[in-house]
């Protein structure tokens, strides 16, 4: 069995082995192996290519952009997604616009350990994907499975555009697979994780697993729920979403991030704009509460959507 975290480590090892232009840069990624051990052992295996950085996200990303301009393909690790805002200017004003301004590609991959875990609190639990998806020029990946964590990270390194790779911390050790994939669905194509006829749940990252658990629970009541894993939110696979809603007539968008201006809002806006006639009931969304992420594990457990709260929302949708 291989964990979600091990898949990320294996993808980085393969990228380093396959392409001498690839290197890893970040705080404590070398000798220590990263805050979550996503680079454990790689500095020894690839001397001089897994480099510890100063505690300056602005400098880390800025230097990676410069290296990419000169032909390298850096993988940048932010210790937590939350800290990427310190380098926000470099990401959205430099990396995202570089090719548009100069026709020079910017092949950098920025790994963001995202989402909440019990006791992590407001500074180490944020989901930043919608923030970066707002800016043209950035690709935003949100892998929800071990297989996608591996294959999408390899794809991210190979892409000539800057990629924000949102890997969920809760999945690091909670998710396992039998083996690594040899084939992969390309970024920008959603996956139907569960087929159904009565309602569609559109989700991504860790909320995929809460949504699947909800769908299994409602199946005992006779409801068959289709669950779509977006896989990436920029680009967003609107066609797969609309095709599913055409079959079910009902939509619930689920995300761990805050509700205002987020991925769930974008999903609903696209369905209402491009597929309003397909709906048999008003679409719904379910997100984290619009508050900073709490420290206490009990409060954290009620802050984000769970299989139980998704089921409550879905029953309301099915009765509409």
List beta partners, residue 163: 109, 139
Where do we find the tokens 């990303």? Answer: 61
In terms of Cα–Cα distance, which of 217, 152, 185, 188 is closest to 15? Answer: 152
Eight-state DSSP code of residue 119: T
> Would you please indicate which residues are annotated as catalytic (active-site) residues?
57, 124
> Which residues touch 270 (CB under 8 Å, ≥6 apart)?
236, 238, 241, 242
Q: Is 189 left (phi over 0), alpha (psi -120 to 50) or beta?
A: beta
Residue 68 host element (H or E): helix 57-69
Q: Are the CB atoms for 256 and 205 separated by under 8 Å?
A: yes
Structure tokens at 48: 């001089």
Q: How far apart are the C-alpha atoms of 166 and 257, rounded to whole Å?
A: 12
């Amino acid at each position: 069995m291989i964990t979600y975290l091990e898949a990320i480590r294996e993808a980085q090892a393969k990228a380093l082995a396959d392409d001498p232009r690839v290197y890893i840069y970040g705080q404590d990624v070398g000798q220590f192996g990263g805050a979550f051990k996503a680079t454990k052992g790689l500095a020894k295996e690839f001397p001089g290519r897994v480099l510890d950085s100063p505690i300056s996200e602005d400098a880390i990303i800025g230097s990676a952009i410069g290296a990419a301009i000169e032909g390298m393909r850096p993988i940048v690790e932010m210790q937590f997604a939350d800290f990427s805002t310190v380098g926000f200017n470099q990401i959205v004003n430099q990396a995202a616009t570089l090719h548009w301004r100069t026709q020079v590609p910017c092949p950098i991959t920025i790994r963001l350990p995202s989402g909440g875990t019990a006791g992590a609190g407001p500074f180490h639990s944020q989901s930043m994907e919608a923030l970066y998806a707002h800016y043209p020029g950035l690709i935003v990946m949100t892998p929800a499975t071990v297989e996608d964590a591996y294959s999408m990270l390899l794809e991210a390194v190979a892409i000539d555009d800057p990629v924000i790779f949102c890997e969920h911390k809760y999945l690091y050790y909670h998710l396992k697979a039998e083996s690594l994939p040899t084939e992969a669905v390309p970024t920008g194509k959603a996956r139907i994780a569960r087929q159904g006829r009565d309602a569609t749940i559109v989700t991504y990252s860790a909320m995929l697993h809460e949504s699947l658990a909800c769908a299994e629970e409602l199946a005992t009541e006779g409801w068959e729920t289709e669950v779509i894993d977006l896989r990436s939110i920029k680009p967003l696979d609107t066609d797969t979403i609309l095709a599913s809603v055409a079959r079910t007539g009902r939509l619930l968008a689920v995300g761990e991030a805050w509700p205002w201006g987020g991925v769930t809002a974008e999903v609903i806006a696209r369905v209402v704009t491009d597929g309003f006639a397909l709906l048999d009931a008003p679409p719904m969304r379910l997100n984290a509460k619009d508050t900073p992420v709490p420290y206490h594990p009990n409060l954290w457990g009620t802050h984000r959507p769970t299989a139980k709260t998704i089921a409550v929302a879905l029953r309301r949708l099915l009765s509409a």
